[in-house]
A and B are shown apart, each in its own frame.
Chain A
Amino acid sequence: MTLALASVALAVILIPAPAAAAPLERFFRVGAGQYAFTPASLRANPGDTITIELHSTDVTHGLYVDGYDVSAEAQPGQPAALTFIASRAGVFRLRCSVTCGTLHPFMLGRLVVGPNWTLARAAALAGLAVLAAPLTLRKAAE
């Protein structure tokens, strides 16, 4: 039983997401104001060429993409763009990279590259863990 649960858990972690469609050029116009990006969530497929044009609406903001280590900074009225190839699949945080006020460290968004199975995998693992919990207790009792 334990073995079965463990192998299911392994499968949940390792099973690959389906291959994505042909790469595209994607353009996002992202607004930045204290303390949110709009839209806050961007989607792309692996291999896509992503261009993000950053439009600040109040003070200077930046946009940093976790995992890709690219960033741009824009003053209000002077949009800035950054372009990169979405070579890695997964969920990546977008963070403001220019101190823009009190909640600046929490000005966040996200970039999802490929089908987002992270949440589903995490939920499945939690479910397995909950199922496995009573088994470990029974064993301890024996």
Chain B
Amino acid sequence: MKRLALTRSPWLKAALKSRWPQFIAAALLLAGFLFVIVSGLLGTPVGSRNFGIIAVWILWWALLILAAVPLAGRGWCAVCPIPLAGDWLQRGALLGPSGRPPRGLNRRLPKALRNIWLQNGVFTLMALFSAVILTNPRVTALALAGMLAAAIGLSAVYERRAFCRAVCPVGGFIGLYAQAAPLELRVADTAVCAACASKACYNGSESGYGCPWGVFPAGLARNSTCGLCLECLRACPKDNIALNLRPFGGDLEKPAARLDEAFKAFLMLGAALAYAAILLGPWGGLKAAALAVGSPAWLAYAAAFLFICFGLLPGLFWLAVRLGQVFAAPRRRTARRSDFALAASALVPLGLMFWAAFSLSFVFANAVYVLNVFSDPLGWGWDLFGAAGLAWQPLLTSWGLPLQIGALVVGAFWAARVARRAAAQGGFHALPVTGYAFGLTLAMMGLLL
């Protein structure tokens, strides 16, 4: 598989090695993040006219799922403002290493947390309240403030970026889908790393911090755990870190098999289907149930959501994988468990395209609100850029449908390819898994079109 090392360009490499561009982006985004919290708390409670809701759930979400993740993987994590304050606390500096020992308790993250199960849990929790979080500025502000506080608190207790690695509900799925992105950070030559005594990329040096994500770059085979913070690029004394362009889906060529990531994939598929049904479907009762947090109807909705994500989707998938195993080797009696997680890699591109298709349906329809809230962020009657009074009008209505269909078709195609690769690797038949992906695509089409 061909790679193009961006770091080979001296000019680009200097820009990446300098902390300023990344730092300025994160500092500006931190200001934006704080402004989102303040406007969510003080501004109008009407979501569509509050900067907090629109900047996060229309603007940021659209850029994230339609551009940042598919094109740059964890590119968002590279500039995310949430870890900035905690990093400062730990490192005692915003830019280069100060040479002083790290502050805080600096404990190692417990082994039980070195996976994304907790992230799955936090995402599930937020997903159950999503109808409220998505529309209520106060709740969005509190959720974001909670994330910021958790990131700072965890950085005082644990070493490196514990929040990013183990808790962040967004980071979990970005990591999963980053495997499909055409951008990766890898070591140029693993032999150099094997001979390297300092392992500055992991331990830190005077020119760069040890990997905040707790990753040893030489061992990186997939994008999931690499936050693209570029510290290893700065720390490496051997100039052995490369940022590569690669074909889409690079990490899915040789899929890995992790159960926590498999369940993240089910969770994301289930959530995309559920949101498509709740938010875009014609069922008013479903919307009311999702909104009425705590009511019996909401409890039923929550139970159904959990059943779909953790029961129905994995259950059917298990059947599909088992069927594939039987097709391939009718005599073998036992089910190989690793095949299940391996085959689930086919759900990575499928889920990414589900989310792209789902997001297309509301991002452009509500894009005018972005202009409104930049002119009047708090709904206080300001008109900073003259667009506060712009009337709502859905944009690109005739493009929405073809784009959504295109995304879903690409998703099915991509999933079928990855399924076949995974099947070849695991030695089971790809057809049932492909059929599963196709079936879900039809379901999503039925909900979206």
Q: A residues engaging B (CB < 8 A)?
A: 33-38, 40-41, 64, 66-67, 90-93, 95, 97, 99, 102-106, 108-110, 118-119, 121-123, 125-127, 129-130, 132-134, 136-137
Given contacts A118-B449, A137-B421, 5 further A-B contacts (CB under 8 A): A36-B287, A99-B48, A126-B408, A130-B416, A133-B420
Find A122's partner among B392, B421, B449 (CB 8 Å cutoff): B449
- Contact: B413 with A129, CB < 8 Å? yes
- Contact: A95 with B394, CB < 8 Å? yes
- Contact: A102 with B135, CB < 8 Å? yes
Please, which residues of chain A bring their CB within 8 A of the CB of B291? 102-103
Please, which residues of chain A bring their CB within 8 A of the CB of B131? 102-103
- Contact: B421 with A119, CB < 8 Å? no
State A91–B400 Cα separation when bound (angstroms).
11
Chain A CB within 8 A of B207 CB: no
- Contact: A102 with B47, CB < 8 Å? yes
- Contact: A122 with B409, CB < 8 Å? yes
Find B397's partner among A41, A67, A129, A133 (CB 8 Å cutoff): A67
Please, which residues of chain A bring their CB within 8 A of the CB of B288? 34-35
Q: B residues engaging A (CB < 8 A)?
A: 46-49, 131-132, 135-136, 278-285, 287-288, 291, 362, 365-366, 392, 394, 397-398, 400-401, 405, 408-410, 412-414, 416-417, 420-421, 430, 434, 437-438, 441-442, 445-446, 449
State A102–B398 Cα separation when bound (angstroms).
26
- Contact: A105 with B362, CB < 8 Å? yes
A110 to chain B, nearest CB (A): 8
Cross-chain pairs A/B with CB under 8 angstroms, 23 sampled: A33-B284, A34-B288, A35-B284, A36-B282, A36-B285, A93-B365, A99-B46, A102-B135, A104-B48, A106-B280, A106-B362, A108-B280, A108-B281, A118-B449, A119-B449, A122-B405, A126-B441, A129-B413, A130-B412, A130-B413, A130-B416, A130-B438, A133-B434
State A88–B311 Cα separation when bound (angstroms).
43
Find B405's partner among A34, A37, A104, A125 (CB 8 Å cutoff): A125
Please, which residues of chain A bring their CB within 8 A of the CB of B132? 102
Known: A35-B287, A106-B362, A130-B412. A64 touches B446 (CB 8 A): no
- Contact: B392 with A97, CB < 8 Å? yes
- Contact: B445 with A134, CB < 8 Å? no
Please, which residues of chain A bring their CB within 8 A of the CB of B416? 129-130, 133-134
- Contact: A126 with B284, CB < 8 Å? no
Closest residue on chain B to residue A129 by CB atoms: B413
Find B420's partner among A99, A108, A110, A137 (CB 8 Å cutoff): A137
B44 to chain A, nearest CB (A): 11
- Contact: B401 with A91, CB < 8 Å? yes
Please, which residues of chain B bring their CB within 8 A of the CB of A92? 397
Known: A103-B131, A118-B401, A134-B416. A41 touches B438 (CB 8 A): no
Please, which residues of chain A bring their CB within 8 A of the CB of B398? 67
Find B365's partner among A37, A41, A103, A105 (CB 8 Å cutoff): A105
State A92–B398 Cα separation when bound (angstroms).
9
Please, which residues of chain A bring their CB within 8 A of the CB of B136? 102
- Contact: A91 with B413, CB < 8 Å? no
State A125–B406 Cα separation when bound (angstroms).
9
Closest residue on chain B to residue A130 by CB atoms: B416
Known: A67-B397, A118-B401. A133 touches B284 (CB 8 A): no
Closest residue on chain B to residue A9 by CB atoms: B409
State A119–B397 Cα separation when bound (angstroms).
17
- Contact: B420 with A134, CB < 8 Å? yes
- Contact: B282 with A37, CB < 8 Å? yes
- Contact: B434 with A126, CB < 8 Å? no
- Contact: B409 with A126, CB < 8 Å? yes
Residue from A108, A109, A110 whose CB has the most chain B CB atoms within 10 Å: A108
- Contact: A133 with B442, CB < 8 Å? no
- Contact: A126 with B47, CB < 8 Å? no
- Contact: B394 with A106, CB < 8 Å? no
Closest residue on chain B to residue A98 by CB atoms: B392
